[in-house]
Every structure is written in structure tokens, then in C-alpha cells.
Amino acid sequence: MMATAAVEPGQLRVGFVGAGRMAEAIAQGLVRAGKVKNQHVLASAPSDRNLCRFRTLGCQTTHSNREVLQNCSLVFFATKPHVLPSVLAEVAPVVTAEHILVSVAAGISLSILEELLPSGARVLRVSPNLPCVVQEGAMVMARGRCVGSSEAQLLQTLLEACGQCQEVPEAFLDIHTGLSGSGVAFVCTFSEALAEGAVKMGMPSALALRLTAQTLLGTAKMLLQNDQHPAQLRTDVCTPGGTTIHGLHALERGGLRAATMSAVEAATRRARELNRK
């Protein structure tokens, strides 16, 4: 097997142990962006239930986890967290120094992963979020002790096919769970409330929901493309005595800012508790 860091992304053989929605989203992003050829992707799962979606992408499938390791140099472990230790024990005998192993499972630290795998294994953790499904994910990654800059850069480049990916200290992964993982639900709750406000004032629900989604999309693009602080964009929308400042006053009276900060804090604390179990 060729050392992974020396392989051009287009020639890379990528494996997925676990074939759920997040694994499919990452594979789909890699294939559609031309980062990896579909015939160079191999996914494993106990049953055909999820593997059929990989076959639809033109990827290879198997029921053998070891086969994935034996044929792929970059392998994503996308199983449920409680299943991962037994899966790693199963594949450990075929792990080599040339593998790059990426865990997508929440709650299992790099130190634990390194304990469960052969000495010197190159291990990284990635925390994705659901918008990876539409290639607009917010992802962070952290590297283990044996991972060099070239391997980390390779993984980051590949994952950018699924959205934005930043390398961070491992401690930030739990915060990312509270911010970007759980944040999808927080944004959806705010979106629903925003649309319901329009419905209250007489707008049909379907139209209100569509306009709300487009408003969020456009705002996010402006923040990303212009690298603006949200406060600056908010100020640009606010005119003295206008509609926006009256609406913002109502949000402040309702405690939106404090409630949102508390939501991220609560989700982060829960992620940390799960990591200690």
C-alpha cells in the first residue's frame, strides 16, 4: 500500500466503516467534488439497508470491516459511539502505519482511540454537522499524536468538499457540538418562530417558511463572504426609528441573546458529560 500522504486525492482509496447518513454525506461530497473517484470508495455495514445508498453513488460495498482497511488507506469510522470500541478491536490486526484513521463518532477521545489501536496509528477526530448532507457543513478536526501536517492537510482538503473544515484543539470539539451540531436545531427553532411571526401578521405559512429560509441563507452568505462581524451587518440593517430596531427591542425583552448563549452552553456541557462516560 502506498503511503497515504503521497497519494494524489483523485487516486486515493477511501473507506467507510459504517454507512449511515453522515458517512453517506461525506462520501457524496467527496465524489461529487471530484476529490475521490466513486469506484475508489468502499463502505461496510452489517446489512444492506444503508449500503444501497453507496451503491447508488457507484461506490463499492462490503459486509467486512477488515476488507475496508485492507483496501483503503484513508478510513472513516462512522459507527455509533458505543459500537466503535468493538469495531476497532476487530480491525486492529490489519491496521498499518500507512493508514489514516478518522473517527466521526462523538464522545470518544483521541487518547482512547490511540489506546484501542496499534501503537503509532495515525488517528484524527472529525466533528461534522447535518448540513454536510447538502455540502454546507461546519466541521472541525483534531489530530492525534502521530499525525503530521501533510496528513492533516490532506483530510482538511478532502472535507472541504462537504463544507468548511477547520483544524482545532481537541477540546473545541465539544464546543463545536454545542454550536454547530446542536445549533442546527437552535436555528430551526428560531426559523420556525420567525415564520410564525409572519403567519400571525397574515402571511401564508408556506410562503413565510420559504422566505425565512432564504433570509437565513442570504445573511449567512453575507457574513461568510464579507468576513463581517454579525454586529456590523445588524447595524447596517438598523435605521433610526425604523422597523428593525423596534423588532430588535422586542427580541431583547424576550431574552433571545441570553437564551441562545445558554443553549450553546447547555449542549456543550452535555457533550462533555457524554465524553466522560
Please report, in range form, the residues annotated as the binding site: 65, 78-81
Asked if 27 contacts 16 with a C-beta cutoff of 8 angstroms, the reply is: yes
- Binding site listing for NADPH: 65
Interacting residues of 78 by C-beta distance below 8 A, sequence separation 6+ = 16, 17, 18, 19, 20, 22, 23, 26, 104, 105
Supply the angle between the helices 243-253 and 256-276 in degrees, to the nearest 10: 50
- The b/e string for 20-31 (b: 16+ C-beta within 10 A; e otherwise) is bebbbbbbbbbb
Taking alpha carbons only, the member of 51, 44, 30, 239 closest to residue 128 is: 30
Chain-centroid distance, C-alpha 53: 19
Q: Which residues pair with 43 in a beta bridge?
A: 16, 61
Cα dihedral 230, 236, 239, 245, rounded to 10, equals -10
Provide Rg for the chain, Cα atoms.
21
Cα separation, 163 vs 32, in Å, equals 13
- Binding site listing for NADP(+): 78-81
The dihedral sign for the CA sequence 35, 154, 229, 179: positive
Cell numbers placing 101: 484513521
